[in-house]
Copies of this chain bind each other. A is one copy, B any other.
Amino acid sequence: MSRKIRMGMVGGGRDSFIGPVHRIAAEMDNKINLVCGAFSSSPKKSRLSGQDLLLPPERIYDTYQEMFQREAKLPDGVRMDFVSIVTPNNLHYPVAVAALEAGFHVVCDKPMTMSIEEARDLERNVQETKMLFCLTHNYTGYPMVKEARDLINNKGFGSVRKVVVEYAQGWLANNIESTGHKQAAWRTDPQLVGASTSMGDLGTHCENLTEYITGHRITELCADLTTFVSGRKLDDDGSILLRLGAKTRGILWASQIAVGQENGFRIRIYSEKGAIEWDQENPNSLIVHWIDKPSEIRKTASSFVGKAAAANSRLPAGHPEGFLEAFANIYSNFADALLYNLAGNKVDENRFDYPTVRDGVRGMAFLDAVVRSNSSEKKWVTVQD
Residue from B173, B257, B317 within 8 A of A262 (CB atoms): B317
Residues on B with beta carbons closer than 8 Å to the beta carbon of A304: 293-294
- A228-243 interface with B by 8 A CB criterion: 228, 237, 239, 241, 243
Determine which of B2, B295, B321, B376 lies in contact with A324 in the assembled complex, contact meaning CB atoms within 8 Å.
B321
Please tell me if the beta carbons of B325 and A324 are within 8 angstroms of each other in the complex.
Answer: yes
Interface positions, chain A 73-126, Cβ under 8 Å from B, are none
Q: Are A291 and B173 in contact (CB under 8 A)?
A: yes
Judge if A290 is at the interface, Cβ distance under 8 Å: yes
Q: Whole-angstrom distance from the CB of A344 to the nearest CB of chain B?
A: 20
Give CA–CA (A309, B250) in the complex, Å. Answer: 35
When distances are taken between beta carbons in the complex, the residues of chain B under 8 Å from A258 are 162, 268, 270, 275
Look across to chain B and name the residue whose beta carbon is closest to the beta carbon of A157: B259
User: When chains A and B are docked, how far (Å) is the Cα of A299 from the Cα of B169?
Assistant: 14
Contacts A226-B249, A259-B290, A294-B298 known; 14 new A-B pairs at CB < 8 A: A21-B315, A24-B314, A162-B258, A170-B289, A258-B270, A260-B274, A261-B318, A281-B320, A293-B296, A296-B297, A314-B324, A320-B323, A321-B322, A379-B379
A53 an interface residue at 8 Å Cβ cutoff?
yes
Interchain nearest-CB distance for A310 vs B (Å)? 14
A-B contact pairs, 28 of them (CB 8 A): A2-B54, A4-B54, A24-B314, A28-B28, A28-B324, A161-B237, A162-B255, A162-B258, A164-B253, A171-B316, A173-B291, A174-B291, A224-B243, A239-B249, A239-B251, A258-B270, A259-B273, A262-B318, A263-B318, A263-B319, A264-B318, A288-B294, A294-B299, A294-B302, A295-B297, A321-B323, A324-B324, A378-B379
